[in-house]
């Protein structure tokens, strides 16, 4: 966990991961040398990663999203998760507790053979013992108490202008080449990009600035959650009566700690990702929040042990030594009656 100055630097990086260290210092209210020293150390230690991706990839309009749950051979959970994370079509991948060992979200473009991807391709992995899939009907990022790393930085939206609706056709070959380099290092300088692509630095700067200004590119800053004091990352799956589903979503969307909500067409109808600071907070959330969600008939919970990928970006800390486990929450499969106060 970082101190208050570190938190302010992290917040600034999440606001705009490509801002200069002078701009980061201004946003964080610290000297430029402090912003540079703290920010560089966080990035080099693998606690923070900045990437720039095409907005159409981060927020696909026509693709279908499937949730994939995998049971693995003993001892292969990390390797299975790493292979899934290496795929370009996975948006989120984590090793989790519970009946399944690995959870992932896969984005399949409209028109592509879903069976070929989910059955022939993915299940060809010999370390996968069993899988369960569900179609994601609607999803939304929620950030009530910690700025969400999926939030796109779009200056047009920031100053009140109507955000540009980007299409695949808007990106020229040069734009794609620039973004391919910024995917791995979102803070890479215009000069180094120009040198590698043998382009004029002014041209690279103009193209990159236009992509971000129009919202055709999205800056993503991933932060190791425990740096901000969040020790519990949990997926709560709820089975909700159809007539109460929208009310359940609205109830959860207002709750501190909730980061992501998705309605699914599968074994469970609602998935809620939460990040909390302790297992005591998690207990309170189940007791005080889940018990009040309308229409719930069943709950299953999973703890995220290691998150390998988020927002199409590999998490640099997934390959590092696991952080000490501060609390273990067993998966739950309980009836609503057990949740009532």
201-243 pLDDT, tens per residue? 999 999 999 999 988 999 999 999 888 888 989 999 999 999 9
> What pLDDT, on a 0 to 100 scale, did the predictor assign at position 156?
43
Q: Are strands 102-108 and 90-96 parallel, antiparallel or unpaired?
A: antiparallel
For the chain, give every residue range classified as CATH 3.30.70.3460: 64-145+225-339
Q: Which two tokens stand for residue 57?
A: 């990839």
Instruction: Give pLDDT tens digits along the chain (341 positions).
Output: 889 999 999 999 988 999 999 999 999 999 999 999 999 999 999 999 999 999 888 877 788 999 999 999 999 999 999 999 999 999 999 999 999 999 999 999 888 999 999 999 998 899 999 999 999 999 887 654 444 443 433 444 444 545 557 777 778 999 999 999 999 899 999 999 999 999 999 999 999 999 999 889 999 999 998 888 889 899 999 999 999 999 999 999 999 899 999 999 999 999 999 999 999 999 999 999 999 999 999 999 999 999 999 989 999 988 765 444 444 444 444 444 444 44
Query: For the domain 1-45, what is the CATH code?
Result: 1.10.10.10
Find out whether 128 and 72 touch, Cβ atoms under 8 Å: yes
Q: Which residues contact 173 (CB under 8 A, 6 or more apart)?
A: none
What is the per-residue DSSP string for 33-51? HHHHHHHHHHHHTTSEEEE
> What pLDDT, on a 0 to 100 scale, did the predictor assign at position 325?
42
Rounded to an integer, what distance in angstroms lies between the CA atom of residue 208 and that of residue 192? 13
> What pLDDT, on a 0 to 100 scale, did the predictor assign at position 158?
43
Spell out a b/e string for 119-131, using b for 16 or more CB atoms within 10 Å of the CB, else e.
eeebeebebbeeb
For the chain, give every residue range classified as CATH 1.10.10.10: 1-45
> What pLDDT, on a 0 to 100 scale, did the predictor assign at position 321?
53
| CATH number belonging to the domain at 64-145+225-339, selected among 1.20.140.10, 3.40.50.10860, 3.30.530.20, 3.30.70.3460 | 3.30.70.3460
Find out whether 251 and 298 touch, Cβ atoms under 8 Å: no
Integer-rounded Cα radius of gyration of the chain:
21
Rounded to an integer, what distance in angstroms lies between the CA atom of residue 107 and that of residue 109? 7
Burial of 261 (0-12, 13-18, 19+ CB in 10 A): buried
């Amino acid at each position: 966990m970082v101190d208050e100055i570190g938190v302010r630097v992290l917040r600034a990086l999440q606001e705009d991961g490509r801002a200069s260290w002078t701009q980061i210092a201004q946003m964080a209210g610290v000297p430029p040398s402090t912003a540079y020293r703290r920010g560089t150390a966080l990035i080099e230690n693998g606690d923070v990663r900045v990437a720039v991706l095409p907005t159409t990839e981060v927020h696909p309009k026509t693709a279908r999203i499937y949730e994939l749950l995998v049971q693995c051979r003993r001892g292969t959970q990390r390797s299975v998760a790493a292979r899934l994370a290496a795929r370009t079509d996975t948006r989120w991948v984590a090793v989790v507790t519970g009946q399944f060992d690995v959870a992932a979200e896969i984005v399949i473009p409209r028109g592509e053979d879903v069976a070929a991807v989910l059955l022939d391709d993915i299940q060809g992995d010999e370390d996968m013992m069993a899988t369960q899939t569900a179609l994601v009907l609607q999803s939304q990022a929620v950030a009530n108490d910690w700025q969400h790393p999926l939030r796109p930085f779009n200056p047009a939206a920031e100053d009140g202008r109507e955000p540009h609706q980007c299409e695949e056709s808007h990106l020229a070959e040069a734009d794609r080449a620039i973004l391919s380099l910024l995917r791995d290092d979102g803070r890479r300088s215009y000069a180094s990009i120009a040198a590698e692509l043998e382009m004029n630095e002014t041209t690279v700067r103009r193209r990159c600035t236009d992509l971000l200004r129009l919202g055709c590119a999205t800056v993503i800053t991933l932060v190791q959650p425990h740096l901000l004091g969040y020790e519990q990352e949990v997926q709560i799956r709820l089975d909700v009566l159809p007539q109460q589903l929208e009310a359940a979503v609205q109830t959860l969307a207002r709750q501190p700690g909730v980061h992501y909500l998705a309605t699914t067409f599968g074994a469970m109808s609602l998935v809620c990702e939460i990040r909390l600071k302790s297992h005591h907070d998690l207990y309170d959330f189940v007791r005080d929040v889940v018990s009040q969600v309308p229409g719930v008939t069943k709950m299953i919970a999973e703890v995220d042990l290691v998150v390998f990928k988020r927002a199409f970006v590999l998490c640099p800390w997934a390959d590092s030594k696991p952080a000490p486990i501060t609390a273990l929450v067993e998966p739950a499969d309980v009836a609503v009656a057990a949740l009532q106060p």
